[in-house]
Amino acid sequence: MGMEKREFQIDKQKAMTYLATRQAGELSKACLEGVMNSIDAGATRCEISVDSRMLKISDNGRGFSSLGDIDKLFGTFAWDHDTSEKKVYGEFGLGRGQMLYFGPNVWYTKGFKIQSDFMKEQTYGRGESDRPYVDGCVIEITLNKRLLPSEIIDLKNGIKKMVRYVPIAVKVNGETVSTNPAEQKWDYDTPDAWIKLRETGDVDVYNLGVFVRGYSNHQYGTGAVVVSKKQLRMNLSRNDVMVNECGVWKRIRKFLNRKATEANLKFPAINGGDLARGRKAASSFLVGL
């Protein structure tokens, strides 16, 4: 008896919910998705304001110019990116799910209004805006959970870390929290990345200026800040590098390992205590270059 081939099926409602809930972690990560969307839309600035109940993200990017664009780019998850769009970060077409997770969304763009309470019903509405024309995009999220003053401070600090090296001006409650990496001083400027070595701490990795994660310095023999100049191959949540598949990261890692080895050779060790002191001295030497 022959085998009958069948296509895999998917529960649409569960899949749609997972796209939001299983991506979302911290509110700062949702804000990061908003910033990346702004950059992909060609914005030169992105402003975030937050209080106890409302989060607002606004930019001067392209926005959505038609109802068709809204249906394709907002209403469809996991759509194919056209290379002509010249996206900096866009790869999966899923990121806005993180913003939809934290509360009812209302988006204003050009002459249109989009709204969705995704966690209650996986639908969205779109039509003519009831506000003046918006040249760009404004996203307003009514937060499901009221934020305490301390949580607002933590959110601001979290956003600051995540967008520290993005190429556009990002403000949170009026304070600029980003800086152009090309204008900073680095220990090494390679074709793949800007790199600053440091004596302690993890290897903090930024994909095109956006924070990914910190890797233990024990893996590389040094602490560092690494800001890639090329797109790293990321997992779906963009919080880890696909280290075995990413050619850019393999070259960066090889560079870091070589520099750590050079440092250890400059300061040979006899015993464990000497090794620790040698590594510390090596790190101090390299940071001073």
* The Cα angle at residue 58 between residues 24 and 231, in degrees rounded to 5: 55
For residue 93, name the pLDDT band (cuts at 50, 70, 90).
low
Q: Check: CB of residue 61 under 8 Å from CB of residue 136.
A: yes
pTM of the model: 0.80
In whole angstroms, what is the distance from residue 286 CA to residue 271 CA?
A: 22
For residue 284, name the pLDDT band (cuts at 50, 70, 90).
very low
* The pLDDT value given to residue 78: 65
Query: Position 189: which residue type?
Result: D
DSSP 3-state assignment of 214? Answer: strand
* The pLDDT value given to residue 287: 41
List CB contacts of 185: < 8 A, sequence separation 6 or more: none
Nearest to 103 by CA among 58, 153, 57, 67: 57
How far, in Å, are 49, 74, 223, 240 from residue 165 at the CA level?
Answer: 19, 27, 18, 17
Q: Check: CB of residue 286 under 8 Å from CB of residue 222.
A: yes
Tell which phi-psi region holds residue 233, choosing left (phi > 0), alpha (psi between -120 and 50) or beta. beta
DSSP for 239-287 reads SSB-TTT-HHHHHHHHHHHHHHHHHHHHS--SSHHHHHHHHHHHHHHHH
Helix (H) or strand (E) holding 176: strand 175-176
* The pLDDT value given to residue 165: 97
* The pLDDT value given to residue 17: 66
| 12, pLDDT greater than 90 | no
| 172, pLDDT greater than 50 | yes
Domain boundaries, the chain: 12-176, 182-287
Half-sphere exposure of 84 (CA within 13 A, CB side): 0
CATH architecture of 12-176: 2-Layer Sandwich (3.30)
Lowest mean pLDDT among 55-59, 82-86, 152-156, 171-175: 82-86
Rounded to the nearest integer, the mean pLDDT of the chain is 85
What tens digit of pLDDT does each residue of 188-200 get? 999 999 999 988 8
